[in-house]
Amino acid sequence: MSKSLKWTKPKVLAHTSFSSPLERRALSVRPFALAMLDPTLTDPWHHVSEWFKTCDARLAATVVTEDCRNVFEGLKSMVDVGGGTGTVAKAIADAFTGLNCVVLDLPHVVAGCEGTENLTFVAGDMFEYIPPADAVFMKTRSVLKYWKIANKQSPTKTGKEVIIVDMVVDFKKEHKAIETQLFFDMLMINLTSGRERTEKDWAKLFSTAGFTSYKITPVFGLRSLIELSS
Ligand SMILES: C[S@@+](CC[C@H](N)C(=O)[O-])C[C@H]1O[C@@H](n2cnc3c(N)ncnc32)[C@H](O)[C@@H]1O
């Protein structure tokens, strides 16, 4: 979009700066379309996809660091397994400067990711190696694959605590987001032939993996933070 789009020269701009018939028509029909097509208003939309790709992680990071501070307080180190490009881990590292965060993800995902004083990226396969830390953190679908190796390498051997952020449907029947639940169930059916887990499903999984207790704290929507101990 041309930066020369200004209210002051509508006639000239209508003929010289707008290339698409739709834009020209919009201008001829409604002069105020100039304002609506001003880069100040349109540019943010060009970044929506970029924002959308990380909005879930950003939202979770905010909620986790604000509502569940006590879970992270006192930890010296944490590894975010399947942590992507580190959106959540960065928020946690920023909120807890005494906590060393490691993001473990596949090489092509963490390539080019820059760490900070208390945030480092490790390229690797979680099925092969998980860096040792006080706590193992996992958010969303990475968990689904991870637990398949629970018997081979228990997270408790790697970290003292396990913290999961994921959906718990039907938890205390507090959620009313039925459409959202159905949508994610369909997504799971299509992608993994699974479905979102109820508390009972999670409890069975934790028990199978050797954990004796768990605590579920709803954080937003269907998403909860789950603390495990053995
Ligand atoms: C659904 S994304 C979740 C990313 C991040 N935890 C979040 O919630 O935004 C799952 C992540 O697991 C990573 N992943 C998948 N298989 C992996 C493996 N074998 N070892 C390490 N990371 C893996 C993917 O690259 C991806 O970044």
ipTM: 0.98
Ligand 1 in reach of 83 Cβ (< 6 A): yes
10 and 35 in contact (C-beta within 8 Å)? no
pLDDT of 141 higher than 60: no
- For residue 219, which of 62, 18, 63 has the smallest C-alpha distance? 63
Mean pLDDT of 78-106: 93
Higher pLDDT, 87 or 177: 87
Residue 125 Cα: closest atom of ligand 1 = 20
CA distance linking residue 80 with residue 181, whole number of Å: 25
Q: Across the chain, what does the average pLDDT equal?
A: 77
Both structure tokens of 104: 């473990």
What is the reported pTM? 0.72
Question: What is the pLDDT, as a whole number, of residue 149?
Answer: 40
For the ranges 6-20, 76-90, 209-223, the one whose mean pLDDT is highest: 76-90
pLDDT of 197 higher than 80: yes
Question: What is the pLDDT, as a whole number, of residue 50?
Answer: 67
154 and 181 in contact (C-beta within 8 Å)? no
Q: Which residues contact 2 (CB under 8 A, 6 or more apart)?
A: 13, 17
What pairs with residue 135 in β-bridges? 78, 161
Mutate to test the pocket of ligand 1, among 63, 110, 142 (most ligand atoms within 8 A of CB): 142
170 dihedral zone (left: phi>0; alpha: psi -120 to 50; beta): left
Domain boundaries, the chain: 10-46, 51-229
How far apart are the CA of 82 and the centre of ligand 1, in A? 3
> Hey, CA dihedral for 224, 82, 147, 52, is it positive or negative?
positive
pLDDT of 44 higher than 90: no
How far apart are the CA of 56 and the centre of ligand 1, in A? 14
pLDDT of 136 higher than 80: yes
Mean pLDDT of 146-157: 45
**Architecture (CATH level 2) of domain 51-229:** 3-Layer(aba) Sandwich (3.40)
Ligand 1 in reach of 113 Cβ (< 6 A): no
Ligand 1 in reach of 126 Cβ (< 6 A): yes
Ligand 1 in reach of 57 Cβ (< 6 A): yes
Question: What is the pLDDT, as a whole number, of residue 32?
Answer: 58
How far apart are the CA of 67 and the centre of ligand 1, in A? 24
Lowest mean pLDDT among 17-26, 125-134, 150-159, 208-217: 150-159
Ligand 1 in reach of 122 Cβ (< 6 A): no
Ligand 1 in reach of 33 Cβ (< 6 A): no
